[in-house]
Structures are given as C-alpha cells and as structure tokens.
Structure 1
Amino acid sequence: MRTAPGGPALADRLADALTRIDAPDAVLAVTRQGHRTVVTGGSALAPPTPRRELRYELGSLSKTFTVLLLADLAVNGVLSLDDPLTARLPRLPLRHPRSGRITLRHLATHTSGLPRIPTDLLAGALVRPYDNGYAGYDTGRLLDTFARTRPRHRPGTRWHYSNFGLALLGPAMSHTTGTPFPRLLADRVLTPLGLTGTTLAPGATGTDAVGHRTNGTTPVRSADMGAFAAAGAVRATPDDLLGYVEAHLHPEGSPLAAALREVRVPLLRRGWRHRNTHTLTWYQHPAARGPLLFHVGATFGQQAFVGYHPASGTGLVALATRRGRHCGMVTTAYELLYRLAGED
C-alpha cells in the first residue's frame, strides 16, 4: 500500500475500500480541497513499476476527453455543437435521411439513434469475446458503415449509449481541423492541462498496467481501438487523472476554462420518471449540496472510474486491472465518493 499526503483518516478509509475490490492491481485516489490521497494494492504481487506510476486503459472514460475537446473547439468557434455530422466529414453516400440530421451534440450525448456498436462488429464480439474487433477497424470502414447504417430513431429524441456515435467525433474533428485526432487531443486538451502521463497509444514495456482474463493469470493484450480511438483509447496515470478531475472541479484560470464549464451543464434527462441527468459528457446524480458527476470505462482487462462533486471540491479516481467482468470497483468508488460528498 502507498499513500500520499491528505490525512491518515482518509488514507485508512481508502485502504478499507480497497479490500472490497477484487482485482490483481487497484488504485483509489482522492483529491479533496486541494489535498491528494492515493492508496494502491491488489491480489497480485506488486509490479516492478509502482501501481501509481502505471498508465491504465480508460475505455469509455476516454469519451470525456473527446467531448471536452469538442467543447473546446465549439467555444473557440472552430465548429458548432449543432453542426450536422455530415458537414464535418468527407462527402458520404448516405442511405437513410435520418443520418443527415445527426449533429455533433447528438453524438456526444448518445442521442444520435446509432447502435452501440456497428452490426459488423457484433457477431464477432459474441462468438470471440476476447478478440479485439476494433483493432482492424479503420476510419474508412467506420465512415462506410455509418453511411449504410439506419438510425434506430429520429436523432435527438431518445438516449441510447453508442460507442459508434462517439467514435465518429474523432474523424469529424480531424476533418474539420486537418489534424489527426491523437495530435488534436494532445495539442488542445492534454498539453494545456499538463497531462504528461496521458496518451492514446501503448507505452514502453513496464509502463502500462496489464489486465487479465477470468483466471487472473492470462494477460490480456493492450487494447487497440482502431478508428474507435475517440470512444475508448485514452490511457492515463492516476496522478494525471487527479489533475484532470481537479481541472473540472476548479476550471477558473485553466486555458480550457470555458470548455470545462460547458461540459458540466445539464442537458437532458432520461430513464424512469426522467431521474437520470446527463451533461454533454458526464452522468449527473443528486448528492448533498449539489450534483455529483461521474463516468466509468472498461476494456477487456481493465476498469476505470472518475467522479467529482463540485460543491465539496472532492474528486475520486479508481483504476483496476481485473479478472472477469465484475471486480466491485465501480460500486465501491461511487459509494465512497457519494459519502465524501456529504461530509464537511
């Protein structure tokens, strides 16, 4: 176990919460009113590189980085959130009129009507769950598939989570700016926020966390997301994620201040009795003194959680390599953040 300054009581609480996470490697980190506390552990032997210094695959948590980039381009007048997607892509032979009505905002908020993943990926995922179908899926194929896909409902009318939709933001922003998505994200988000341990590509051996299959020993290959990079390719160190959440908690003075404020604005409600609130990129739940915002992500062998409570100045990062689908990390992290939000 390793702790950083932030008070022994909180460190003890994090250590106790860590025992409820069934994972070879796990990190719980809290930033609270300017102080950081980090605890690491897991059922596996500690890796040669300390767990706190490894980069972890964020999976769908990557979407918050992509949409922050989108918001930054919007507040600087490079594009508008309500631009049609087709206006930000090369000319495509669309087969369905609804596709032409999808906007960038619809993609960011999962209201485009597009399926979760393209149908040509679905069959392979069901038959070979540990094969990474994203790896060989290039941008040309992604755009061709979009041109053929019929949205399931009129854009803007229903919420339906879509990796497919978020992935399209990558080529849309790249085509608009003439800059490859990884460089665009680095230039406009990662570098301005000082996130030097965050990238979209695997690092040298020993610098990245390694996930496992359900037996807990067979390693899972690093997740290559292909053309779905905007939906799930970011990997980051715990300290970088603490810096990321601190930027959201305290946007004033940041070079991305306007975009950071933009992604916190509630935009839609869904679910039973419309109890679930969403911003442009974050899930938002009610909590003491104000809303709690969070997002989760997973790859074939890792899980990630980031959440923050602006009213108390509290943010929480949880990362784990896992063996199987359920390790208890997300529930543990959410419940801990919710309790911290209600404390002075």
Structure 2
Amino acid sequence: MAETPLLPATSRALLHRIATAQTQGRAPSVAAAVLRDGAPVWSGGYGLVDGAVPGDDTQYRIGSLTKTFVAVLVLRLREEGLLDLDDPLSRHLPGAPAGASTVFQLLAHTSGIASETPAPWWERTPGDVRPELADVLGDDYRKYPAGHRHHYSNPGFALLGALVEQVRGRSLGQVLHDEILAPLKMTRTTLLPQAPHAHGWAVHPWADVLLPEPTEDAGRLAPAGQLWSTLADLSRFAAFLADGDPAVLPAAAVELMRTAASPPEGDQWDSGYGLGVQLKRDHGRMLAGHTGSMPGFLATLWFSPADRIAAVVLANTTTGVSVGGLGADLVRIVCEHEPRLPAPWQPLTSYDPALLELTGPWYWGPGAVALKLLADGDLELAPLAGPGRGARLKAQGDGTWRGLDGYYAGETLRVARRPDGTVDHLDLGSFVFTRTPYDAAADVPGGVDPAGWRGLPRD
C-alpha cells in the first residue's frame, strides 16, 4: 500500500518550524525530513548552501550519529557469535587502553572512562595528532567505577571502532560500507565530504558574520563523529532503526539497542541511553535515535516506535539551533496533526482453549490483577485498579511465559496445578496469584490464617 502523503496543513507546520529554527538560530541552512511507517513523507530546507536551498542529497557532517552506526557493527558481531556484550575489550583487542571495560559498558557509556581525549580538542585538530589507540586516552582516564553511572565518552567509541577493525580484519570504512551502507542503499554516506555538501560555519554571537570551521579527518576518533550523510540516506537509516533489516540486523537486536542500558538520574528523567542510541521523553512520547555535533554542523535523528514517525534534522552551524528539540518537535507536529489510527480489532482465528482458563481476575494477596490473552498468544498482566505491577509475558513453548517488561522482565510465569489437573495458583517469579484473595485452598506461601477474614474488633 502506498504511503498516504501528509496533509497540506501538516507540511506547512513542519516548514514553518524549521524556518523559525533557521532564522532564530541564525543558521546558514537547516534541512529536515519526516518518515511515517518507514517511508519518507516530507522534506524541506531553509537557508542556502552554495546559493541553493539544501535538498535531500546535500551532505552534512552528522557528528555523534556516527556512534549509532558503529553500535550496529558491534551488534552484528554479537549476532554472529564473534563476541559477547559482557566480554572485556581486552579479550578481542589485546593491549587496548581501558581493556577491562566490557563491550556493553562502552556501548552504553557506563565504562566510567573520560568524555574526551587529552588536549588539544580532538574535534578541531587532525587525527594524526593521536596516531595510536593509546593516544585517545590519557593516564587519568578513569573518572568513575565501571558500571556505576552513565558518563558519555567519545574515546569509548574510538575503542569500539578499533574493536570492529580488529575482529573483521578490515578498515572501519570498508566494514561500514559492506555491512550497513551497501545493504541499505545509503550511497551518499561517507567518511569524508563529497559534493554537493554543506560547509561548516561558526556564526558570530553579536554580528551576522561567519567564520569557516575546519573539517578535519578525526583519525582514531572517527567512530565518535566522522560521518557525512544526507536526508535521503538518514531516512533509510531511520527506517532500519525502527524495524531492523535481515541484511543488517534483526528487529530484536535493534530493539535491544534502544532499551535503556543504565539507570536514569533524578526523579523525573527525560533522557537516557541504550546501546549506541539516545532515548528522549518528549510530551509523554518516547523517542529513540541520536544527536550529533561537530564544529560547523549539528544533526539529529529521532523516531517514535509507538507512533511510527521519524524525523531527521541537519544544520551547518556550530551552535544556535537545538536540533534535538527541533527533531522532537517535527515528530510531535505530525503526531498531533495526523494522529495514528489504531489497527482494527479482529477476533482470533485460532487459540488454545486451555488458555482461557487462565484469563480473568487473579489476586496477589489482596491485590487484584487481570490476565488477558492477546492476539499473538502472549499474556498481559495488569492491575485492575490503582497502582501495581504489570507485564507483558511471552509464551516459551514449554507451558511457561517470560516477562518482557516492568518489574517482571525476565521472570517466569508458571501454572501450578493440583493432582486433578485444576489450577491451584500462578507463580510469577515466586509471587503467588490465586483466584480469590489469600485463597485458603491454594498453596499460599506462609499459609492462610484458618480463622479467615474478620472485622476489626471493637473495644
């Protein structure tokens, strides 16, 4: 089915939003694209690149969006059984600095190593300033104990890029081309700029004048922010990050990338990090993707898995435009102007009648929950009223179900039956659920007071 184009009012609102960002942020140019259900439905540019409005094929440097590409390459190694995410880096890259850090910690920025290289600032200096891998970290590179907190690290992804090269036996650029760019038909994503491309500018804070920013080859730091790309190519990458692609990485592995890998800080968190993927909460909507910046350039890619909407934003200015917020706004505009229609409800075509016996109300002590049978054979446990723990549970093929989210993620639901085959209770990670509150006829841990329920005695 062909993708339905956006309504004219929606397209106008998107153009107005990037125009406002370009003028208020005083950026030489801003370009953006929106996808719905994996297909491009809008793109636009404001400002000029070499005298013309930037289009879908205009290259911009994408900065730390490069990290998501590197993470995909690492997850491919894991899918092939060539490494485990809990492996220490030194197992695959002997002699590497921070070799005790695990692959998972480096992907999630929880290794505790430094955010930046020793001076001079790597983003504005040639990569040959640090010719060896050991040069990307100084002697005092450990800032926090490993695994204790999220601490963003550019050198950490330099180490991951070296890991990919070591395991594959080829340069990062070649691996990137063979394993991501070629399969996804991303023909305009490169390590160095190729015309037509935007030029990176710094804008004077108190005058409408420009200063060209240097465009350096980052060398060993390339995995942290080297890539150049276009709206068209990043739209293809956004579609891949939403659904996976059997030629690159399956959907389950992509979903793992966008799962929070470290605990958020603060009571009300609005951002987090998975494995090479940033997470953002915006107007109650969860977004996944990444932002990027290099001198003269800003970029972002966000997508909402729930709404199936993605946005890409590119700008050629060092500061001034909050591209992360702009990208989130583009997603929100489409969602609010054209809310997604729910899939039509349809009854099951087949089911296991024995599962109906498990559905309905259950009680954990006095707490009431309901168990529902879903269309795909999964179960859903949810509180009947008020706060409480719930989970979606996936059938395991052996009569048990595994929790997919929330408190019960990874825990096993088992059906405990009496000798006559009737259900006695449900056991979910040792929590017992019975058909009535503290059912005296069921095997309740600690037993049930034989006198049963009672009123409160009065004096």
TM bucket by the smaller chain?
0.7 to 0.9
Please say if residues 66 and 230 of structure 1, whose CA atoms lie closer than 8 Å, have aligned partners that are also in contact: yes
2:43 aligned with 1:38: yes
Match of 1:336 in 2: 330
Please say if residues 286 and 292 of structure 1, whose CA atoms lie closer than 8 Å, have aligned partners that are also in contact: yes
Distance 1:339 1:13, change over 3 A: closer
Distance 1:17 1:270, change over 3 A: same
Which range moves more in the overlay, 219-228 or 74-83? 219-228
Match of 2:437 in 1: none
Structure-2 separation of matches of 1:176 and 1:325: 37
User: Under a length normalisation based on structure 1, what TM-score does the superposition of the two structures give?
Assistant: 0.85
1:132 equivalent among 118, 124, 146: 124
Amino acid corresponding to residue 44 of structure 2 in structure 1:
V
1:131-160 residue CA offsets vs partner (Å, 9 max, x unmatched) = 8125323441x3245483441122111111
Structure-1 separation of matches of 2:281 and 2:111: 26
Count of residues in Structure 1 that have an aligned counterpart in Structure 2:
324
2:237 aligned with 1:244: yes
Distance 1:213 1:100, change over 3 A: closer
Structure-2 separation of matches of 1:244 and 1:111: 25
Shift of 1:36: 1.9
Please say if residues 309 and 341 of structure 1, whose CA atoms lie closer than 8 Å, have aligned partners that are also in contact: no
Match of 1:13 in 2: 13
Shift of 1:233: 0.5
Structure 2, unaligned runs of 5 or more:
341-459
Pairs within 5 Å for 1:1-344: 6-22=6-22, 23-33=27-37, 34-42=39-47, 44=48, 47=51, 50-91=54-95, 99-119=98-118, 121=119, 124-125=120-121, 132-140=124-132, 142-146=133-137, 148-203=139-194, 206-215=195-204, 216-251=209-244, 253-258=246-251, 259-273=253-267, 275=269, 276-286=271-281, 291-322=286-317, 324-341=318-335, 343-344=339-340
Residue 198 of structure 1 aligns to a residue whose secondary structure is coil
Residue 272 of structure 1 aligns to a residue whose secondary structure is coil
User: Under a length normalisation based on structure 2, what TM-score does the superposition of the two structures give?
Assistant: 0.65
1:234-265 residue CA offsets vs partner (Å, 9 max, x unmatched) = 11110000111011222265542254233123
Amino acid corresponding to residue 54 of structure 1 in structure 2:
T
Amino acid corresponding to residue 9 of structure 1 in structure 2:
A
Please say if residues 247 and 254 of structure 1, whose CA atoms lie closer than 8 Å, have aligned partners that are also in contact: no
Identity %: 27
Tell which has more relative contact order, 1 or 2 (C-alpha 8 A, sep 6+): 1
Shift of 1:274: 6.8
More strand by proportion, 1 or 2? Answer: 2
Structure-2 separation of matches of 1:300 and 1:252: 32
The structure whose Rg is larger is: 2
Shift of 1:179: 1.1
Please say if residues 20 and 332 of structure 1, whose CA atoms lie closer than 8 Å, have aligned partners that are also in contact: no
Residue 239 of structure 2 aligns to a residue whose secondary structure is helix
